[in-house]
Amino acid sequence: MSPKEQNDGTIGKALQILDLVANSQTPVKFTELLLLSKFPKATLHRFLKALVNQGILNYHKKTQTYTTGIRLVALAHNAWKNSLLAPIAKHHVTKLGSEILETIHLAQMNNGHVIYADKYNPIQPIQMFLKVGKIGPGYCTGVGKAILAFMADKLLKSSILSQSFQKYTNNTITTKKDFYSELKKLRSEGIALDNQEYRNKTICMAAPILLEDKRVIASISITSTTVKHGLNDLFQFKNKLKRTAENISKDLQKWDSPFKHGNSEDIWQG
């Protein structure tokens, strides 16, 4: 626990528990949270009960597990509606996806982890907002690598410390040394690739969204499957992808946004 978290009192502790449940790939048992959180049993039970009572978490009696609640989903949806990036980029995300008939993701990053801000699926263009707000790793996703590759050195170092380098597939980069080499190549090419590094049979090409001063604020990607395309096939969309990223940047800079006036630490570390 960081000194900042220690000073956040009751709310900070409750949010730590919420993070553990929200970031889990599967429903979580009390015993798992007890191990992960390091809180005393009585303290953990009290916070979980409060979060369930408020609709932030769900408790499933049959399996004795916790998952995120509908109130949290509603809050996430409202946060998405009120954020600047997603609504401004929405037209560009939809336009690109409908033109090339591939899935498009728009993402930002917080403390080294990817947060998906928007998604367009040409097969099911009317999207539920449940997918928005999903958190993913930075080191093995196209959108994550596109952001990390263009970060200032100081922020990049701190963000890489947050990476687990867990092996998801046989193609996942699992060492810092190899990852730094990958980022160097990405900077020169201006795009990032995910060659089945996070999910088998899923491939991706991503581009950073840069401001005029070259600060990276987000990324946008084209995602497909190996059933439909080989990785090299995605290069046919490279110019459209980069142009879309540039157009989103131009539209963002027309607004008096925090991206224009804040420093990089404000954007990425919250």
- Which domain-ending residue is among 68, 100, 120? 68
SS (H, E, C) 147-163: HHCCCCHHHHHHHHHCC
Q: What is the pLDDT along the chain (270 residues), one digit of tens a residue?
A: 444 445 567 888 899 999 899 888 789 999 999 999 889 999 999 999 999 999 899 999 989 999 988 788 777 766 655 567 888 899 999 999 999 999 999 999 888 888 888 899 887 644 433 355 678 899 999 999 999 999 988 889 989 988 999 999 999 999 999 999 999 999 989 999 999 999 999 999 999 999 888 899 999 999 999 999 999 999 999 999 999 999 999 988 876 555 555 544 444 444
Residue 114 CB coordination number (10 Å)? 27
Q: Domain count of the chain?
A: 2
Considering only CA atoms, give the Rg of the chain.
19
57 with 181, same domain: the answer is no
Q: Model-level pTM?
A: 0.70
- Which domain does 54 fall in, by range? 3-68
Strands, E, within 73-146: which ranges?
103-110, 113-120, 135-137
**Collapsed DSSP state (helix, strand, coil) of residue 212:** coil
In sequence order, the 6+-apart residues with CB closer than 8 A to the CB of 54 are 69, 71
In a domain, 58, yes or no: yes
The dihedral of CA 131, 233, 174, 3: what is its sign?
Answer: negative
Shared-domain flag, residues 156 and 243: yes
